[in-house]
Structure formats: C-alpha cells, structure tokens
Amino acid sequence: MMDFALRCATNIHWQALDVHREARALIKNQIPCCIWFTGLSASGKSTIANLLEKRLHAEGRHTYLLDGDNIRQGLNRDLGFTEADRVENIRRIAEVARLMVDAGLIVLVSFISPYRSERRMARGLFTDAEFIEVFVDTSLDECERRDPKGLYAKARRGELKNFTGIDSIYEPPEKAEVHLESGVESPEVCMERIIEKLSSLQVSV
C-alpha cells in the first residue's frame, strides 16, 4: 500500500516571511495592484493593456502584463476551452497575479474571462483597492468585423468549438471600475481613461 499523505493540504502550513508586501512595494515606490481586462476576443483588451503598460513603464512603474494567448503557450498549455478548463485557466492566472501584486508589481491581466463567478473569485484574492476591473465593451459585430486571427470565421463554420460569443456565453461585468467602449473610442483614449482612474487611486503619477 502506498501512502500519499504528504500530498494532502492538511500537511501544508503558511511559511512566515520577513520581507513583506509593503516592503516590496516601498522599494519600488508604487502602490501595487491588479488591473483585470475582460471582454470578447478582438475587443481590444491586449492592445489597450499593451499601451497602458508602455505608459506605466515610461513613468518608471514596475509592471507585468499577463496575456491570455501567451499564458496558454506555457503555464496553461495543458488547458482547452471547455467550461471546466476556462475556470481553471482563470483560477491559475488569478493566483499568479496575486503573487505578483504581493511582489509589489502593477499587474495587467488581459483575459476574456467570460464568467462573472470566476472574475469574482479573482477579485476575492485582493483587497478592494488592489483590484481594478476594466470592461472592454465591444459589440460582437465589431469583434467579428475585426477578427484579426480569423477565429470568429472558424467558429461560424463550426471548426472551433466553445468559442466565446458564438457557442459559449460571455457574461459582461455588472460594476466594473472602468467601462471602455473600444468600438467607439480609440485605444489611446481608452488607455488615458484607465490612467485617470489609476491617478485617482494614486497608483500612477
């Protein structure tokens, strides 16, 4: 008989560390937070997030951008697009973002994250001041018109299953801290609106 007791969570205890999150943030001279971008594929999330990171970097901020496609090529490469896999995809990235905020970084997370329950789970890992949800609100018609990767066309032909907006639901945020209309406003204007929000929270100067 094999005993797997060492794998049980009851044998795991939180290790106290002498260098805490406040010390890590202080040395970077910034207030760490998680900026969570959500929206349909081709809504403009990654474009706006990239512009924002460039702006914050130019201001001397310590940042990291976690992009859905990039993460699926490494950490989450074992996950597909079933509902269960999508839930696990968000759980993992939320935990990574939490660790990065603990390290004192301003973390930008650009994931479709279609389910409200998973976004609530992610929010629950942070204090109210640390989590900023950004809803990149772009109509399905506009996203399909853009379709830079040809994914909507494949989904419409039935070649791509469980695609958000076509045969898998997207639940829009009900009370996002920042609501952007990227089909109406340019990516640059959207980025400036986030900067204004961060400035009001004293995250960016």
Q: Which residues are catalytic?
A: 113
**In the sheet where 178-180 sits, what is the strand order?**
63-67, 106-110, 33-38, 131-136, 178-180
Which residues partner with 65 through β-bridges?
108
Q: How many beta carbons lie within 10 A of that of residue 19, not counting itself? A: 9
Measure Cα distances from 57 to 44, 48, 154, 203 in Å.
20, 14, 36, 13
Which residues partner with 179 through β-bridges?
135
Instruction: State how far Cα 2 lies from the chain centre.
Output: 40
The answer to whether the beta carbons of residues 126 and 140 sit under 8 Å apart is no
Which residues partner with 64 through β-bridges?
107
